[in-house]
Amino acid sequence: MTILTKRLPADERKAVIVAAVVQLAAEQNPGEITTAAIARQMNLTQGALFRHFPTKDAIWQAVMVWVTDRLLARIDRAAEGIDSPLAAMQAMFMSHVDFVIEHPGVPRMMFGELQRADFTPAKHMAQTLIQRYSERLISRIEQGKVAEEIAPEIDAQAAATLFIGTIQGLVMQSMLSGDIQRIRTDAPGVFAIYQRGVRELK
């Protein structure tokens, strides 16, 4: 789908460029997305594209900022007003799942950036997302200990890592199956097992 942007202000055009990249990543290997393909998707010349972003790495960094801002805001909204820490974590889990279903190109880009050997601004932003996400989870886990919903001996950092890794595993399996909707079907049962694990240690 070609996106018309000629009359948009610069900031809005940048946002539309980022959205175009996310859409392209859902349709093809993110590593193979070229600036020519992005420009074509935007109905722009490459020269016009580079007036907004000086390099391809700058575009990828903007995409990772977009992902970070939207995903964290989404899980924050999902947990807002929920008194039970574990129930809040479940809401965060399912909200993250819905985000992936709506933007299937995002995990493909995340996996691609984190596997790169070189250190790029986009990779740094992806790492920042995971760090900020973990901080939110650790806070909920510690609240869960106080509320006696989570076993006091649980390692909060490890439990946060497992939470994020569990979602990543679900995403990977859904991608391998070719059915991104599978993640929504599998997620409730998987979270139930996670919840049982943090409630008590045997």
Written as tens digits, the pLDDT of the chain (202 aa) is 444 445 556 678 888 889 889 989 888 888 888 999 998 888 888 888 888 899 988 998 999 999 999 999 999 999 999 999 999 999 999 999 999 999 998 888 888 777 777 888 888 888 899 999 999 999 999 999 999 999 999 999 999 999 999 999 999 998 888 888 899 999 999 999 999 999 965 4
pLDDT computed for residue 4 by the predictor: 46
Domains located in the chain, CATH noted: 1-54 (1.10.10), 57-199 (1.10.357.10)
pLDDT computed for residue 123 by the predictor: 84
- Taking phi over 0 as left and psi of -120 to 50 as alpha, with beta for the rest, 148 belongs to left
pLDDT computed for residue 46 by the predictor: 87
Output the CA angle 111-42-59, nearest 5 degrees. Answer: 40
| Alpha carbons 190 and 130: distance in angstroms, whole number | 20
Supply 67's token pair: 């992902």
- Taking phi over 0 as left and psi of -120 to 50 as alpha, with beta for the rest, 196 belongs to alpha
Q: Read off the pLDDT of residues 52-86 as tens digits, 9 standing for 90 and up.
A: 899 988 998 999 999 999 999 999 999 999 999 99
pLDDT computed for residue 179 by the predictor: 84
Q: Are 68 and 128 in contact (CB under 8 A)?
A: yes
Q: Read off the pLDDT of residues 31-51 as tens digits, 9 standing for 90 and up.
A: 888 999 998 888 888 888 888
Which amino acid type is present at position 119? F
